[in-house]
Amino acid sequence: MTIKSSGGNPPTNPLSFTEISNEFGLPPNKNLGAYRVDANIGSLSELALDSGIPQSGQIKFSDFYSKKLNIVVKCTGGNRATVPYGNNAVVVGGFKNKPSRNASAWQGGKKIFINVTGTYSSNGASSSEFALKTGNSSVWPSGTDMVIDLGSNSKIVGRGGNGGNASGGDGGNGSNALRYLSGATLNFNKDVATQSNGAYISAGGGGGGGGSRAEQNDWGDRNDAEGGGGGGGNGLPAGSGGDGNGGGNDGELTNGGGGKDGESDSEAKGGNGGNGGSNGADGGGASGGSNKKEENGDGGEGGKATEAY
């Protein structure tokens, strides 16, 4: 269990070595000094047994009040994935095997580091799906403290929406990046797509709307003009550009593709395709055109970069 609190200052609840070893495992020779841990796991470095437990110098029983077992779950990449606890979970210190995720094995609480070092994509995702999910409170027992960390150059990215086709097709919606346990601490700025260490977390951008087709028919003199295709939204995979007057541009990982201008002749002009959304933004609506035969298409909605559940 999470080790009991001190009961006051000075402490009124003395700790035994057994209480400590029940939580963290038994070190060689029952040596309290062996708990001075300085561990490197995944892309995380200099991990203590738990926050506040010394890694060098003096260590004493009172350092262990209210502490709990720390576990790193290494997330090396996948597609529309859920955090893999199994063989990817490493106990800090290594003095015991990882516990099962149930109330009795959890003993009232554990601290989990979700360490993302690979790429999580959204190939084949619907607009409601996520590239990576940690699992919610039905998966992680009560008392779980969770920290989510993005390692250098890691990626969690939703799928981009496709651009709308000419004749006023709407752009597709992007999908989502990360769904995480409510109350988890995020060791990154969830509102900024590119992190300082080169990691990238982003929803898929919405596709741009397709431009309307135009038609002008005056005394048997008919003029037709095709609308432009919308640009694909950013994502992994990025959205494809829509058909129309040569086609809108495909999106890229971080940037949406540009929409294609509508065809134009002397008397009819098709609508211009909208640009695909970048960094999870909505796609732009198609615009312009004259003597239009259809309405211009609307841009698709960008997804969610993060959502707690």
The DSSP-derived string for 148-205 is: EEEPTT-EEEPPPPPPPPTTTPPPPPP-EEEEE-TTPEEES-TT-SB-TTS-EEEPPP
Residue type, 200: Y
b (16+ CB within 10 A) / e for 112-145: bbbbbbbbbbbeebebebbbbbbbeeeebbeebb
Is residue 11 within 8 A of residue 4, CB to CB? The reply is no
pLDDT of residue 252: 98
How far, in Å, CA of 170 to CA of 299, rounded?
A: 6
Identify the CA nearest to 65 among candidates 8, 142, 103. Answer: 8
pLDDT of residue 292: 87
What's the average model confidence in pLDDT over 219-241?
91
pTM for this prediction: 0.93
Highest mean pLDDT among 69-73, 224-228, 289-293 belongs to 69-73
pLDDT of residue 1: 59
Reported confidence tier of residue 267, pLDDT bands at 50, 70, 90: confident
What's the average model confidence in pLDDT over 96-123?
96
pLDDT of residue 218: 73
Residue 218 in tokens: 């005056």
pLDDT of residue 220: 67
pLDDT of residue 219: 65
* pLDDT at residue 53 greater than cutoff 80: yes
Give tens-digit pLDDT for 141-189.
999 999 999 999 999 999 999 999 999 999 999 999 999 999 999 999 9
